[in-house]
A and B are shown apart, each in its own frame.
Chain A
Amino acid sequence: MSGLTLIASYPKSGNTWLRAFLASHLRDGRPIDLNADLSEVPNLTSRSLQDCHAGLEHSDLSRQEVALLRPLTSRRIAREQPGFYKTHDSNLVPPGAREPAIPPDAIDRVVCIVRDPRDVAVSAAAHFGWSLDDSVDRMADTAFCIGHSPRRLNANVEQWISSWSAHVESWLDAGGVQLLMLRYEDLLADPLESFTQLCRFLDLDDTRHAVSRSLEESRFSALAGQEARGGFRERSRTSTAPFFRAGKAGEWRTALPAVLAERVVGTHSRVMARVGYG
């Protein structure tokens, strides 16, 4: 395998679950320590990783410079430290840049996880400490980015996310890369089948025994239990709930007011239909 193997998703779409699974799976199904072993699938946008490969501090760069630099740094990481990485970057060209942050020639393959945007809205509100209203608005915002906190240093560099629809489509329509799309709902409904598909795509051990063992080690209750006992370092500082909060599909039916659910559908109906959310 050469280049970057990405676990790409809009925030709060199941990325960490996949990482936890892979963290166990890549170490022969061993139990995982939530605060140590997710580094098996590190965050591509981690500031220290980006600073190290860019040869300077992103905190001294303007947002446009970061956008110009990121593809160059991605190529460098692909060359010098290929492997699995998590990212929330979209596959879009940020303003002022000439190519997406992770250009196709730096990518080996992409696992793209999508989740019903109505559930994402509920989960993102708790994670970022937003109101449900704000959450729905941000998901419609084609200028949405994360990793930028004006008053203090952010642990990540800037990532151009765009709207939920634009984000999802940017990966689904990525040209020139091998791509596997997984729906969060399918992962929940039939984990064995979906994760077997994942392993096959990533050329990892896809035997029933191995996949079940890694699934067991990364089950939701185990991750939530670890977070309850020792915290989780990737939890947002503005969060109003545990990171491992519900882990369910369809929560929006009770948690999202109908008017907001309709607004989500109104904005994202075309892409929702495309990925099978009726």
Chain B
Amino acid sequence: MTDGLLCGWRIRSDIALPELLDWQGDDRIPDLVVRLGEVDERLPEGREISPLLQIDGTGAGLLQVPMVGRFLVRPSGGITIAPQPEASEAEIRLFLLGSVLGMVCHQRALLPLHASSVAIDGGAVAFCGPSGMGKSTLALRFAQHGHSVVSDDICVIETCEPPRVRPCFPRLKLWRDTMEDAALSPEGLERNRRGQEKFHFRAPHAGVREPLPLRAIFLLRRAGSGEGEGIQRLAAPLDIMAALEAETFRLQVGHALGRAETLFQARALIANDVPVYRLTRRADAQPDRWLDAIAATIRG
């Protein structure tokens, strides 16, 4: 099996990762190595960070998903998975390329935002917001208009100047209703979880290989009663900092790994360099209605 490309890393894996682009870089030793093997139920001297996750003093993490398996994630990049016998490969990849990827980002002092992102005019535009607010839906609609999907759940930000997004993979997790609204059929697609009407859709355009400058962040929110729709730039530094903190993927994991300061500085760098907008929509807003306005906002 050929190695894959994930956020700039060379990844070698015992299980197939069809979402990823092939590694075409140098012949370095793989940055991440995924193996199937035994994983103990407890991490010796591990501290419980959340109900299903422990982290120990060396920065290793153990994620346990009852019907999927155990994932041991070492800071060296070694990842061991002990799957439950009934787990499907899609289910294993869901957590490997989700929670585990988030942990790897924190181990490596990157800033993972809970965001979908797409490429617009050679830069990445990120959409953040609570579940159900339409992050993946917006990314899908941009993809249908010819834009590459840079990331789905996790937008991995490298804090250089200007901040850059390391592309994940062009796969979107979409509910049946969202797909049908976009005139797509979920027929033949892998399910997010067995029996769930949520599917793994691979965007049609070639994924992105190289990091892209982060052009803008949109915080998606729902209009309250009597409130109008619109795009508004956040101006107050404290508002931007608090919003970026709230949108950090697995913030508690980052803190447990001693990244509070790095994450804070990363937020400050973004606050200085990247415009952050609040995009307020009504619950019944048509997804396509905002594409032009978003593009126009970015182009200023």
The answer to whether A60 and B132 touch across the interface, beta carbons within 8 angstroms, is no
Expressed in whole angstroms, the minimum distance between the Cβ of B44 and any Cβ of chain A is 21
In the assembly, what is the distance between CA of A230 and CA of B66, in Å?
A: 43
Any A CB within 8 A of the CB of B53: yes
Contacts of A57 in B (CB 8 A): 98, 131, 153
The answer to whether A231 and B53 touch across the interface, beta carbons within 8 angstroms, is no
| Docked complex: A218-248 residues within 8 A CB-CB of B | 230-231, 233
Using A60-B192, A61-B65 as known contacts, say yes or no to A73 and B51 having CB atoms under 8 A apart.
yes
- A-B contacts at CB below 8 angstroms, number: 77
The answer to whether B51 and A51 touch across the interface, beta carbons within 8 angstroms, is no
Any B CB within 8 A of the CB of A249: no
Using A51-B131, A54-B51, A230-B226 as known contacts, say yes or no to A62 and B193 having CB atoms under 8 A apart.
yes
Which residues of B pack against A, CB within 8 Å? Answer: 49-53, 65-67, 94-95, 98-99, 130-132, 153, 175-178, 192-198, 224-226, 250, 252-253
In the complex, 5 of the A-B residue pairs with CB atoms within 8 angstroms, ordered by the A residue number, are A35-B224, A61-B193, A62-B194, A68-B66, A153-B132
Which A-chain residue is minimally distant from B95 (CB atoms)?
A60
Against B, the Cβ 8 Å flags (1 = close, 0 = not) of A14-36 are 00000000000000000000011
Give the number of chain A interface residues (Cβ < 8 Å). Answer: 29
Expressed in whole angstroms, the minimum distance between the Cβ of B280 and any Cβ of chain A is 14
Which A-chain residue is minimally distant from B99 (CB atoms)?
A56
The answer to whether B225 and A233 touch across the interface, beta carbons within 8 angstroms, is yes
The answer to whether B197 and A231 touch across the interface, beta carbons within 8 angstroms, is no
The answer to whether B197 and A151 touch across the interface, beta carbons within 8 angstroms, is yes
Given contacts A60-B95, A62-B67, A150-B176, 13 further A-B contacts (CB under 8 A): A36-B224, A54-B51, A54-B52, A55-B52, A55-B252, A62-B194, A65-B66, A69-B51, A72-B51, A72-B52, A76-B50, A151-B177, A155-B132
Expressed in whole angstroms, the minimum distance between the Cβ of B51 and any Cβ of chain A is 4
Expressed in whole angstroms, the minimum distance between the Cβ of A44 and any Cβ of chain B is 15
